[in-house]
Every structure is written in C-alpha cells, then in structure tokens.
C-alpha cells in the first residue's frame, strides 16, 4: 500500500485493559474534530510495525511494516472517536503486540472505515452471535439495532467470565436480550446453536462473527435448518484463512498458458497475481466469491464460505481454497 492508502492519522486518546488479553483503544482525530462516518459492522485497516525483522543475536530489531484490520466497536453516532478492541496473540506475527504497546498520545495511520459486514437495510429481526473478540462489530450492530428499535437477540460466547470483554456494556445495551455462554474449555458446554438460531423466516437475519470453528458450526447449523444463504451474514475474525497445514500445489491456468507451482505459504490467488495475471478478487477471505474460477480438472479443497454445494461442483475460490492432491487445471 502507498502513503495515500492511509488517509487518516489518529491519536490514541486512551486505552483500557478489558481482560487479561484484550485491550480497548479510543482513537481521535489529531485536531479533535469529527471523524469520517461509518456504519455498524465497519472496520479500519491500521498501518502497523510487526518488528522483529532481525534474527541474528545482537542485531538491531528492524522495522517490518504490515497492516491489521480491527472492527469499530462504538455506536455510529459517536463521531468524535473510534473505539477498537485488540486481543493479544502472543504467538501471532506481531500486529496485536504492536497495538497493545500503543499509549495515549501515540499516533497511528489507518484507511477510511470500510464495511464488509453490514446490517441488512430493511426492518428485520436480528439474531447476533459472537465468539470471543468477534463481539467487536456485533456490539456496534447491537447499538444500531437499539437505535432502530429493531427486534434482536445477542448470543455471546467466551471461555469464562474473566475472558469475556464488554459484559457491562452488553447488559446496558441488551438487557434481557443478551445471552452469555461460558464453556470453560469444553466445547460440549457451548452455545446450543440449533436452539439459538431457530427457524428461518422472511424477516429474520443471522449475523455471526468469531473464530473459524464457530463460523463453521453456525453456518452448518443454519444450512441444516434451511436458512437461505442471503439471510446468513458473517465475518471471520482474524487473518485470512490460516496457512498452517498447507501443501504446495501445481495449478495450470489454461487460458493464460501458465503453470504455477504454488508454495505452501502462498494462496493460489497471490500466485496468479505474481505471475502477471489480473484475477478478480475482493475479500481475500473466502466470503464474497468474487475470485471464483471454473475448475476444469483436479480436486479442490474448498475453504470458502461463499459457494453453494452446487457451485462447488465446478468452481473454487482461489483466495483460500487449494488442491486436495495433484494438479488443478483452472479456466483462467
């Protein structure tokens, strides 16, 4: 990204430890003036320094630029600040450590707010499900639904009361419409999803944000209950699909006449871009299907959330999906 991709410079107004691992940050404009508007579910992309570029003993640690997305937690009518919450990932690549090290007065650059997880515009009943730090966009949505006097229920799961952020705010925003779940590390004690999701209806929409296992379980349960995909909205919390366990694969782009050897740490989409092709894409997280490509031969390992079973007979999302084994031949 170029400097013009970071149009906002913000100053840290305050930070609060919400739990042992989660810290909220309140960010303001340098001049204290109003900030660009956002809608519930939006996020900012922050320019971060992942550091740790030096590995030799005694060498100076070097700067390593990166970017990280964090959802806006506050209500959309609070225009003089943005609030985010960051969970410290001690085994992560450094983005959350950088964010946790910020102190009042520090400055940071961001993009303008972007929303890939908006509330449906028509009046409707909302079922909101959050897991862990996935509560952040859901909280802003809850405030918005409250302002609209819309019917909603919030179901929020965490390991224990001590690891759950924003409990007091949920009580204030939701009252009896907020339901909290603690599994104490035993998934069988988690949220009763079929009961929580319930039957589909024309005016009922489901929103879920959290880690991948929760998303997978909610989407599978909603499918089993015959919810229409257009009424199920989700945002995967965290980085694009984890690359651990990936195997290298060979991809033949038939129309381009290219053969790509895609290493384990790279997506097929990135390999296509690096090879000079110009594929369409948007979310890079398997959520939008913009990158879907026709599969001419080979067996994909589908990792997207966007394609139906019928779609998967002949398409794959190259931003996240890979080959089960052998070679893939794509119509690209």
In terms of CB distance, is 126 or 291 closer to ligand FES? 291
The verdict on 251 binding ligand FES (CB under 6 A) reads: no
Question: Do 114 and 146 meet the contact criterion of CB atoms below 8 Å apart?
Answer: no
Residue in the structure block whose two tokens are 């599978």: 220
For ligand FES (CB under 6 A), the number of binding residues is: 14
User: Minimum Å distance from CB 291 to ligand FES?
Assistant: 3
- The whole-angstrom separation of Cα 15 and Cα 238 is 21
The verdict on 281 binding ligand FES (CB under 6 A) reads: yes
- The whole-angstrom separation of Cα 210 and Cα 198 is 19
> Contacting ligand FES (CB under 6 A), which of 174, 208, 287, 316?
287
> Contacting ligand FES (CB under 6 A), which of 134, 286, 298, 300?
286
Q: Which stretch binds ligand FES (CB under 6 A): 27-35, 177-185, 233-241, 276-284?
A: 276-284
- The whole-angstrom separation of Cα 332 and Cα 18 is 47
- The whole-angstrom separation of Cα 282 and Cα 141 is 23
Q: Which stretch binds ligand FES (CB under 6 A): 15-23, 37-45, 255-263, 278-286?
A: 278-286
The verdict on 240 binding ligand FES (CB under 6 A) reads: no
In terms of CB distance, is 48 or 319 closer to ligand FES? 319
The verdict on 315 binding ligand FES (CB under 6 A) reads: no
In terms of CB distance, is 22 or 236 closer to ligand FES? 236
User: Minimum Å distance from CB 78 to ligand FES?
Assistant: 30
> Contacting ligand FES (CB under 6 A), which of 290, 296, 301, 312?
290
| SS3 readout for the chain | CCHHHCCEEEEEEEEEECCCCEEEEEEEECCCCCCCCCCCCCEEEEEEECCCCCCCCCCCCCCCEEEEEEECCCCCCCCCCEEEEEECCCCCCCHHHHHHHCCCCCEEEECCCECCCCCCCCCCEEEEEEEHHHHHHHHHHHHHHHHCCCCEEEEEEECCHHHCCCHHHHHHHHHHHEEEEECCCCHHHCCCHHHHHCCCCCCEEEEEEECHHHHHHHHHHHHHCCCCHHHEEEEECCCCCCCCCCCCEEEEECCCCEEEEECCCCCHHHHHHHCCCCCCCCCCCCCCCCCEEEEEEEEEECCCCCCCCCHHHCEEECCCCEEEEEEEEECC
Q: Which stretch binds ligand FES (CB under 6 A): 112-120, 214-222, 229-237, 289-297?
A: 289-297
The verdict on 288 binding ligand FES (CB under 6 A) reads: yes
The verdict on 14 binding ligand FES (CB under 6 A) reads: no
The verdict on 301 binding ligand FES (CB under 6 A) reads: no
User: Minimum Å distance from CB 41 to ligand FES?
Assistant: 17
- The whole-angstrom separation of Cα 205 and Cα 228 is 9
In terms of CB distance, is 71 or 267 closer to ligand FES? 267
Residues 200-239 within binding reach of ligand FES (CB under 6 A): none
> Contacting ligand FES (CB under 6 A), which of 85, 232, 319, 328?
319
The verdict on 128 binding ligand FES (CB under 6 A) reads: no
> Contacting ligand FES (CB under 6 A), which of 61, 282, 327, 331?
282
> Contacting ligand FES (CB under 6 A), which of 25, 291, 293, 332?
291
Which residues of this protein are in contact with ligand FES, per CB under 6 A? 281-284, 286-291, 304, 306, 317, 319
């Amino acid at each position: 990204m170029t400097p013009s991709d970071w149009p906002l410079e913000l100053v840290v107004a305050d930070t609060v430890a919400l739990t042992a691992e989660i810290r909220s940050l309140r960010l303001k404009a340098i001049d204290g003036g109003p900030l660009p508007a956002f809608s519930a579910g939006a996020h900012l992309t922050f320019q971060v320094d992942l550091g740790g570029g030096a590995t030799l003993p005694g060498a100076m640690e070097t700067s390593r630029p990166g970017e990280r997305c964090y959802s806006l937690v506050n209500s959309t009518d609070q225009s003089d600040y943005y609030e985010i919450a960051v969970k410290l990932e001690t085994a992560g690549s450094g983005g959350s450590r950088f964010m946790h090290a910020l102190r009042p007065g520090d400055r940071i650059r961001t993009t303008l707010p972007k929303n890939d997880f908006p509330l449906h515009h028509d009046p409707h009943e909302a079922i909101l499900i959050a897991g862990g730090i996935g509560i952040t966009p859901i909280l802003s949505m809850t405030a918005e639904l409250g302002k609209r006097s819309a019917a909603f229920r919030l179901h929020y799961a965490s390991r224990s009361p001590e690891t759950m952020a924003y409990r007091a705010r949920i009580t204030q925003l939701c009252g009896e419409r907020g339901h909290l779940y603690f599994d104490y590390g035993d998934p069988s004690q988690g949220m009763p999803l079929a009961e929580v999701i319930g039957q589909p209806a024309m005016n009922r929409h489901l929103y879920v944000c959290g880690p991948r296992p929760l998303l997978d379980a909610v989407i599978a349960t909603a499918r089993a209950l015959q919810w229409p995909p257009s009424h199920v909205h989700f945002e995967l919390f965290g980085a694009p699909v984890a690359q651990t366990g990936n195997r290298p694969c060979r991809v033949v782009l038939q129309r381009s006449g290219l053969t790509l050897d895609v290493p384990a740490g790279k997506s097929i989409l990135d390999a296509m871009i690096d090879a000079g092709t110009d594929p369409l894409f948007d979310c890079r997280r398997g959520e939008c299907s913009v990158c879907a490509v026709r599969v001419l031969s080979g067996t994909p390992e589908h990792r997207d959330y966007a394609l139906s079973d019928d779609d998967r007979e002949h398409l794959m999302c190259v931003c996240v999906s890979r080959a089960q084994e052998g070679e893939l031949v794509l119509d690209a």
